[in-house]
Amino acid sequence: MKQITLPTLATVVALIVFSIPSAAKTKVEVKDSQGKDVGTITLSQQGSGVVLKLRLHDLPPGQHGIHFHQNPKCDAPDFKSAGPHFNPDSKKHGLESPEGHHAGDMENVVVDVKGNADVTLEDKDVTLGDGAHSLFSNGGTAIVIHAKADDMKTDPSGNSGDRIACGVITK
């Protein structure tokens, strides 16, 4: 008769814990057009999308458009080097667009009267993994904060105005 040995409970638990993939997470340093630090945005993979934890300061109060942009560049003072919105499916701009929206489109961020924003946003159309919707797919992307609120429908950028802050997203 052949003897079968069973693994200990500790071995089974260790195998389970180490086989679960760790959640992807990356921290983005955000600078204004003068190169001054205005905070951080922590990106975390959650389900099929990405959660953004914004901790921003020294920004103009009010609503501001915030988008993922195609290029991993943030050349001051205008941040045009970040390119257009991240849009792997070639859709129109705006969360309210009947023709779909850019993967990089998100809800506006509200900055309080003291110039701070400590908020959480979610973008269900991007990932920190692999594939066309990955924020790392082009060697990285950028996250840009605009001067005005995004109207959620006007192509290509929601009339959100100048780019006032930017951070590069890379592995």
| 167: nearest Cα among 67, 31, 24 | 31
Q: Please give the model's pTM, rounded to 2 decimal places.
A: 0.85
69 is catalytic: yes
55 is catalytic: no
Per-residue pLDDT of the chain (171 residues; tens, 9 = 90+): 555 555 554 443 333 333 334 457 899 999 999 999 999 999 999 998 999 999 999 999 999 999 999 999 999 999 999 999 999 999 988 888 888 899 999 999 999 999 999 999 999 999 999 999 999 998 999 999 999 999 998 877 788 999 999 999 998
Query: CB of 151 within 8 A of CB of 64?
Result: no
Q: How far is CA 146 from the centre of its chain?
A: 14
Active-site residue, from 64, 67, 101, 133: 67
Q: E-strand spans in the chain?
A: 25-32, 37-46, 49-56, 62-64, 66-69, 109-111, 117-123, 141-146, 163-169
Active-site residue, from 93, 101, 125, 150: 93
Fold of 23-169: Immunoglobulin-like (2.60.40)
Domain ranges (residues) in the chain = 23-169
64 is catalytic: no
Active-site residue, from 32, 64, 69, 150: 69
